[in-house]
Amino acid sequence: MDEKYFPEKIEEKWQRAWAESGAFEVEPDSDEGARPKFYCLEMLPYPSGFLHMGHVRNYAIGDALSWFKRLQGFNVLHPMGWDSFGQPAEQAAIKRGVMPREWTEANIEKMRGQFRRLGVSFDWRREIAAHTPEYYKWDQWFFLKMLERGLIYRKNSPVNWCPLEETVLSNEQSSGGVCWRCGASVEKRDLEQWFVRTTDYAQALLDDMKEIEQGWPERVLTMQRNWIARSEGAFVDFQIKESDERVRVFTTRLDTIYGATFVCVSTEHPVLEHALLKEEVRRFAERVRASRAAAVGAPGEVELKEGVNTGLFAVNPFSGEQVPVWAANYVLMEYGTGAVMAVPAHDERDFEFAQRYSLPIRRVIERVSHEQEQIAHDPVSRDQSAVMPHAFTDYGILVNSDDWSGRLSEDAKREMAESAKSKGFGESAITYRLRDWGISRQRFWGAPIPIVYCDGCGAVPVPEDQLPVLLPERAEFTGAGRSPLAGVAEFVNTTCPKCGKAARRETDTMDTFVDSSWYFFRYCDPKNVDAPFDKEAARYWTPVDQYIGGVEHAVMHLLYTRFWTKMMRDIGLVGFKEPVKRLMTQGMVVAETFYRDGEDAGSKVYYNPADVDVVRDERGRVSSATLVADGLPVTVGAFEKMSKSTNNGVDPDEMIQAYGADAVRIFSLFAAPVENDLRWQEAGIDGALRFLRRVYSTVHRWHAALSDAARDAPALEELADEVRGLRRMTHRTIRRVTDDLEEMHYNTAIAALMELMNALGDAGLAPEKASASERFVVREALESVVLMLAPFAPHAAEEMWEGLGHAGGILGSGARFPRADEELAKRELLEVPVQVNGKLRSRLSALPEATEDELRASALADEKVRGFIEGHEIVKVIVVPRRLVNIVVR
């Protein structure tokens, strides 16, 4: 080994060695149970052409775990691929005329190089890319399978439309009324679309969460639970007066039905097609549609509740009362039945609407407990609209409800549903907020939907043996809101698979979340031409043991992939319900921002941290900053996610060049717990590099002296106190680091290694003077550090391991993660604090096995303690062996 640490040189050396030996290429063990398997997966990247620091962090986390498991003797699958369909490729085509495939594949090439320079331990033979026909053929195959099973259907319905990207979005992708990718306000459009019946699995998606509760972050499960939003209630039919029609409503508060003073339907509700309706109603429905299409108003902002009286009357089946039917903008056609019974006294929205249109408010629930709010009301009047300040939405006791009066809400809900069922005008029901997954996209760069439209036969699926439906190489990219495939005649024009007559292909492509819903199964068997993957291969590797990625996919990718797995189980491809046992969502990489106010009011011009000098005050706090170019001040902004718009991004390649991949990785794992945001600071990488250099130069200083050190452990008594202490610390560190790695607490694991190195330095040993037994202890410490460093800084660890006399390095020599000797990990003497009335007064030196009595006696005998207890009555003495003594006096 070289005297000095040259990261570039050793990183290249070991990257080549790994590639040549196929160090990370794995196959299932043939003899069952030879080694346990471990599937470590990071979310696959979109090939933008550049790795960013968020990627570096993501893959550093996964790589650390992969190395750890590998060194523990697991058969580790750690694959990589590309989420290579999607909109940016098309943008490049529109802007620069480069074809999506060329652009994408050039980007993949660039990023593969970046991954190699980072030294991530992937099995590259298993690489997959979504845009290749070998891959998307199976997207199409799954489409056909789901179609056969009735899990896919086509319908014309209002869908979420992103005006900027000119394509449809799923509900998940337009959460909060904005596009998940570009943030534009989403509009509504009527389009013919293909949908996946994810709602068929709504209950399974909820129920099966209990299988993964242990391994998934609570907040991800909460987000999914809220997204699916199961709601228990009842359907009730309201007969329309002087008509055969009924309007079915969904309610979770059947107990309030006697307070229903009107019925509200969505503006898209079929009852509005009623011939006798006034022109006014139609105009209102038209206006609501237009305003939804325009997506005006800030996202999330609640629209003013508006409505119009339809002139129809509906009969409350419980009371027999006739109430007016209104059409209102706040009733959603997509949820429940598209109609509600409005109970203004006990629902805030209905209350607001009733007040606006002077509709009566009738109180039917009274509080049951004095802890509940007493809302002002008029005890004699039937209508409370003059006195009630707001709705009472709690459960309570029924009043003004015929025979039901006096019942409790909970009981009434249940019994009224039963009654409705027996009388044939309703039943209890469960609804979900989750909607079916719209997968049609008006895009070129995606998997073609394998459907042919025939004038005679309608929508005909492409037969399985004709897959894949190939994407053409080129198309006209105008950016206009229509699938570019529609303009490619040789693609569109085909013959009907059923009747053979001329027909047209579907020109929409699939949502790219289809690709990512099952990609990690394909890694198990990436070259299969007969099936998406071999069942046996998948049975060996899956489910994924640890999945790592950003939390932004909590209700998109992670919900779809859970759905997909359940679907694959139902078609017999896999044998389990949940694809991922443990999930870790890492924090963002953030960096300081620097800016000046721009020309336009409110605009800002951002400067890259690399171009800014920072001035600190005497406490070390950043006080001001200047731009290097002109020496004038810039404003110091907050830490924000690295991005183009805030110009605070850092190029991983530059960092690797300056500090080495190992230092970059150490820093990104050490600076914060993996689930926290990571503040990128170059001074921090300096620290990481310093640490690596310190380990390296220590190994170098000792490696010659250690080459002939004894392999047999010397008797502990032979060792001087400090040396014995070092040996014990080595084993304590092994234990700590092992535990921390298991929990992915990389920051504290690295801190423990630093501590051990500090202790080694403090022991004051020198290679020239060290005795044989001392050399043993030093070698044990250094070898342990080097092996434990491998998950974080694999190149440096390999180099040092070889330097310590192990030809072939860590993987080449078959080294294993060190094991702690529990006996040796014990401390010889403990410092036990002594408190008097809870205040620290002295410290005892005690043996770990000292008994309660012994500790009590020596505490009471302690010189310093006696000063505090003399002249006082001792009330009691609390002794916690190994931890503390507390003397309570009066």
DSSP string, 250-294: EES-GGGGGG--EEEE-TT-GGGG-TT--HHHHHHHHHHHHHHHH
d(CA 520, CA 557): 12
Q: How far is the CB of 379 from RNA (least distance, A)?
A: 26
**Cβ closer to RNA: 767 or 808?**
767
Phi first, then psi: give them for residue 611, nearest 5 degrees. -100, 10
CA 314 to chain centroid: 47
d(CA 209, CA 231): 17
Q: How far is the CB of 19 from RNA (least distance, A)?
A: 31
Contact between 37 and 690 under an 8 Å Cβ cutoff? The reply is no
In order of 70, 482, 798, 802, the CA distances from 814 in angstroms are 10, 57, 12, 12
What token pair was written down for 420?
């409705």
Phi first, then psi: give them for residue 23, nearest 5 degrees. -60, -30
Q: How far is the CB of 610 from RNA (least distance, A)?
A: 16
> Do strands 230-240 and 307-315 pair parallel, antiparallel, or not at all (unpaired)?
antiparallel
To the nearest 10 degrees (0 to 180), the angle between helices 721-742 and 53-71 is 110
Going by C-alpha positions, the residue among 249, 213, 664, 209 that lies closest to residue 429 is 249
Q: How far is the CB of 540 from RNA (least distance, A)?
A: 35
Does residue 158 have a cis bond before it (omega within 30 degrees)? Answer: no
* DSSP label at residue 629: T
Going by C-alpha positions, the residue among 699, 683, 700, 691 that lies closest to residue 663 is 691
To the nearest 10 degrees (0 to 180), the angle between helices 7-21 and 661-670 is 90
Helix (H/G/I), strand (E/B), else coil: 876: strand
Contact between 353 and 385 under an 8 Å Cβ cutoff? The reply is no
d(CA 595, CA 605): 5
d(CA 684, CA 609): 14
> How open is the CA angle 420-426-427, to the nearest 5 degrees?
85
Residue spans of beta strands (DSSP E) within 383-536: 397-398, 426-432, 437-438, 440-441, 451-454, 458-461, 493-495, 502-505, 509-510
Going by C-alpha positions, the residue among 732, 802, 737 that lies closest to residue 794 is 802
**Cβ closer to RNA: 119 or 344?**
344
Q: How far is the CB of 486 from RNA (least distance, A)?
A: 32
